[in-house]
């Protein structure tokens, strides 16, 4: 992972770190900027959905939510200090519970349930102001050899 990502304090968002792929031609650019904050052992990962993330109902598209969940697993793992090298997603399970609104920050609150030598097991909730739960998810990441 080394030089592939930026992970540093964001002066525009005090208390938050910006997590960004250096290569803007990759998928992550579709949902960036991503911000990360660690509080009480939980990673808060934030993005703000735009019209390009919407469905025909003017809500956040399920595919955009799934993409955000996947990226949030990595951003959270990095923020929690569990991931310093590259990794791949082995599984991602999601439950859509409410509609996400365009133009208002979405936040994935992610917990690391367990870390083994090569595996990270995580779970999270996606929340938005005035919408207690937009979605819930679990995922497993496999760390790759350096």
Residue 107 belongs to domain with CATH number: 3.10.129.10
Residue 119 DSSP label: E
* Cβ-based neighbours of 63, under 8 Å, separated by 6 or more: none
Task: Please give the Cα distance from 30 to 50 (Å, whole number).
Answer: 10
pLDDT at res. 20 = 75
Specify the number of domains making up the chain: 1
Contacts 24+ apart (CB under 8 A), 117-125: 117/143, 118/142, 118/143, 119/90, 119/143, 120/73, 120/77, 120/82, 120/83, 120/87, 122/73, 122/76, 122/77, 124/69, 124/72, 124/73, 124/76
Boundaries of domain holding 65: 2-143
Percent of the chain with pLDDT over 90: 71
> Distances in Å between the alpha carbon of 119 and those of 7, 17, 44, 60, 74?
22, 24, 21, 30, 12
Residue 34's nearest CA partner among 84, 68, 61 is: 68
Q: Which two tokens stand for residue 122?
A: 């995580």
pLDDT in tens, 30-66: 888 899 999 999 999 999 999 999 999 999 999 999 9
Mean pLDDT of the chain: 91
pLDDT in tens, 102-135: 999 999 999 999 999 999 999 999 999 988 899 9
């Amino acid at each position: 992972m080394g030089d592939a990502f930026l992970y540093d304090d964001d002066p525009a968002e005090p208390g938050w770190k910006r997590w960004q792929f250096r290569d803007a031609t990759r998928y992550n650019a579709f949902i960036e900027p991503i911000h990360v904050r660690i509080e009480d052992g939980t990673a808060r990962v934030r993005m703000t959905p735009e019209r390009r993330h919407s469905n025909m109902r003017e809500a956040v598209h399920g595919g955009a939510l799934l993409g955000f969940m996947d990226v949030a697993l990595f951003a959270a793992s990095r923020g929690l200090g569990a991931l310093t090298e590259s990794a791949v997603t082995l599984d991602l399970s999601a439950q859509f519970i409410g509609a996400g609104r365009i133009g208002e920050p979405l936040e994935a609150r992610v917990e690391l349930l367990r870390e083994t030598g090569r595996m990270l097991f995580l779970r999270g909730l996606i929340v938005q102001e005035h919408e207690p739960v937009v979605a819930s998810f679990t995922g497993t990441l496999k760390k790759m050899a350096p």
